[in-house]
């Protein structure tokens, strides 16, 4: 986490995991904004009195490690590229701060609402049903297949790992309105022996149970005349790492990204 950003986190009241659980919102509406990282301190200063900052065991910036799965012909990616309002993604995510691992289905409805289905897969899981722990996040196994089948995705076809994504996340809770907000930094991608790191890019996501409503964060973006962005970590990552992927729709966003490519 950049030191300039860390300095601007000091004024925020701290929130706990118990606080965050009250606004977990597995069924929600999402609104995303893309900021240059040098604009993050100004944004944080504007919202510091209205939002609290999640802190877990003294740590505010949580690292996420994720593998996405798709069909060999990139069905999930292509549904998004082709502007299908109803689409879905499959992933296994590890929360590095506490070691929790989840298989997840992220489903976007044509109403704009996002629904998540998940199953816990780490060795520390003591909540039934207890499933075999995953040591390798890139493995798609029978338990994940069962999760898909139970939620209407049993016929989606063969799934293979298509992208590794890592990033650091700050999570903020609105003190007044039922809203959770995340700020993602240090986004990195990996696939097929190639790794990429985005520079100068921050992603802000507002998450609510109800549709868009004016909050302080939303008001800030209006004040700087910034509209919501459809930035998807998965589709941008696939576009950057899969040469065969059809990516015309995402090229305008990619042209504005600064990234460094290296061998894994």
pLDDT tens across 110-141, in order?
Answer: 888 899 999 999 999 887 778 999 999 999 99
Domain ranges of the chain: 3-263
Q: What does the pLDDT read at residue 75?
A: 96
How far apart are alpha carbons 195 and 37 in whole angstroms? 21
Q: What does the pLDDT read at residue 112?
A: 86
pLDDT one-digit tens code per residue, 218-254: 999 999 999 888 889 999 999 999 999 999 999 988 9
Q: What does the pLDDT read at residue 71?
A: 97
Percentage of the chain modeled with pLDDT above 70: 97
pLDDT one-digit tens code per residue, 180-220: 999 999 999 999 998 999 999 999 999 988 765 678 999 99
- Rg of the chain, C-alpha, whole Å: 18
16: confidence class by pLDDT, cuts 50, 70, 90 = very high
Q: What is the mean pLDDT of residues 57-67?
A: 94
Q: What is the mean pLDDT of residues 83-109?
A: 94
Cis peptide before 129 (omega within 30 of 0): yes
**pLDDT over threshold 60, residue 1:** no
Q: What does the pLDDT read at residue 230?
A: 80
Q: Give the domain 3-263 fold.
A: Hypothetical Protein Pfu-838710-001 (2.40.320)
Sheet strands (E) in the chain: 14-15, 27-36, 51-54, 62-70, 87-95, 100-108, 113-120, 160-174, 179-191, 194-199, 201-208, 258-263
Q: Can you say whether the dihedral through the CA atoms of 113, 117, 122, 126 is positive or negative?
A: positive
Q: What does the pLDDT read at residue 263?
A: 66
How far apart are alpha carbons 163 and 238 in whole angstroms? 7
Closest CA to 170 of 38, 4, 257, 44: 44
């Amino acid at each position: 986490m950049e030191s300039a950003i860390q300095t601007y986190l000091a004024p925020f009241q701290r929130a706990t995991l118990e606080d965050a659980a009250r606004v977990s919102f597995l069924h929600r509406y999402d609104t995303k904004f893309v900021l240059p990282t040098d604009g993050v301190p100004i944004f944080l200063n504007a919202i510091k009195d209205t939002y609290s900052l999640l802190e877990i065991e003294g740590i505010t910036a949580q690292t996420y490690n994720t593998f996405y799965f798709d069909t060999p012909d990139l069905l999930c990616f292509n549904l998004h590229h082709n502007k299908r309002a109803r689409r879905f993604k499959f992933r296994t995510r590890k929360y590095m701060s506490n070691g929790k691992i989840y298989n997840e289905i992220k489903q976007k409805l044509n109403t704009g609402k996002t629904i998540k289905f998940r199953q816990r897969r780490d060795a520390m899981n003591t909540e039934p049903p207890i499933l075999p722990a995953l040591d390798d996040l890139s493995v798609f196994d029978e338990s994940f297949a069962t999760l898909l089948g139970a939620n209407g995705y049993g016929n989606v076809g063969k799934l293979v790992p298509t992208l590794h994504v890592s990033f650091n996340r700050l999570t903020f809770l609105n003190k007044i309105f039922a809203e959770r907000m995340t700020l993602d930094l240090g986004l990195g991608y990996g696939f097929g022996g190639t790794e990429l790191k985005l520079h100068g890019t921050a992603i802000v996501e507002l998450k609510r149970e109800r549709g868009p409503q004016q909050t302080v964060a939303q008001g800030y973006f209006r004040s700087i005349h910034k509209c919501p962005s459809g930035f998807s970590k998965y589709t941008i990552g696939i576009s950057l790492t899969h040469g065969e992927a059809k990516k015309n729709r995402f090229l305008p966003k990619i042209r504005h990204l600064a990234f460094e490519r290296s061998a894994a």
